[in-house]
Amino acid sequence: MLTQFAVGRLEEQLDKYDEWADRFEDLPLYFMTFHGQQSIRTVIDTMQHAVYVYDICHVVIDNLQFMMGHEQLSTDRIAAQDYIIGAFRKFATDSSCHVTLVIHPRKEDDDKELQTASIFGSAKASQEADNVLILQDKRLATGPGKRYLQVSKNRFDGDVGVFPLEFNKSSLTFSIPPKSKARLKKVKDDNGLVAKKPSSGKKGAVPPISETHSDQAPNPNKPDLSKPSR
């Protein structure tokens, strides 16, 4: 995590290690001191304590299957999973705290993409979630595969899509490739989200439609179309 925070290998620049370590220590980041499997009640109590004492606003649970190993509520794993998801949903609502829950998917064929239905267990996980993000990994036999992050559910405004990811080995991070950033910017330009430059008047260019305001001086060489011609 320190390598990712510094966006570079600190073992290659040891003179900057103390500086980045001090900056990393100042982050409002806390870890639950759990080692091994824990019951959902113990985890929820710890999360509630963290929200009350440290004003935590985002909790990441990695991962659901690991927690279920100690759950003794039922011999039915699907019912146990639904109970855990419901407990996290209630905690997020009551505490006004974001909860990111990592769930491993079911085994799918290598040539098929993961879908919302690929989430392990019942449909309760995707139904309770406000957002569903799927990390797609297309492995190729002849070379490195392609990874991208897919937004398959967005309760805020419904927009879904994919973000290609490229692994940076020096910083151990995933980011959008430079070519994809340029392509995303072009899509924004085409959608009119970024102001377009005026047309140069070259052949084939369509001049923009403009309005005539009352404070503009009239052109004497152009007829006034607002008055009827005699």
3-state secondary structure 26-42: CCCCCCCCCCCCCCHHH
Q: How far apart are CA 132 and CA 84, in angstroms?
A: 17
Q: What is the pLDDT of residue 198?
A: 46
Q: In which band, very low, low, confident or very high, does the pLDDT at 211 lie, cut at 50, 70 and 90?
A: very low
For helices 77-95 and 40-54, the axis angle rounded to 10 degrees is: 10
Residues of the chain with pLDDT > 90, as a percent, come to 32
Checking if the pLDDT of 210 tops 90, the result is no
Q: How far apart are CA 70 and CA 67, in angstroms?
A: 6
Q: How far apart are CA 134 and CA 149, in angstroms?
A: 6
Q: What is the pLDDT of residue 200?
A: 46
* pTM of structure: 0.68
Q: How far apart are CA 54 and CA 57, in angstroms?
A: 9
Q: What is the pLDDT of residue 206?
A: 42
The larger pLDDT score, comparing residue 67 to residue 96, is at 96
Domain-wise residue ranges, the chain: 31-129, 130-178
Task: Give Cβ neighbours of residue 97 (< 8 Å, ≥ 6 apart).
Answer: 47, 51, 56, 57, 58, 59, 91
Tens of pLDDT, residues 18-28 = 999 999 999 98
**Between the ranges 29-43, 149-163, 183-197, where is the mean pLDDT highest?**
149-163
**Nearest alpha carbon to residue 64 among 44, 87, 81:** 81
Contact 116, 126 (CB under 8 A): yes
Contact 46, 32 (CB under 8 A): yes
Tens of pLDDT, residues 72-120 = 545 578 888 888 999 999 999 999 999 999 998 888 777 788 888 888 8
Q: In which band, very low, low, confident or very high, does the pLDDT at 219 lie, cut at 50, 70 and 90?
A: low
Checking if the pLDDT of 214 tops 50, the result is no
Q: How far is CA 52 from CA 44, 72, 170, in A?
A: 12, 28, 38
Tens of pLDDT, residues 27-52 = 989 998 887 677 889 999 999 999 99
Checking if the pLDDT of 154 tops 80, the result is yes
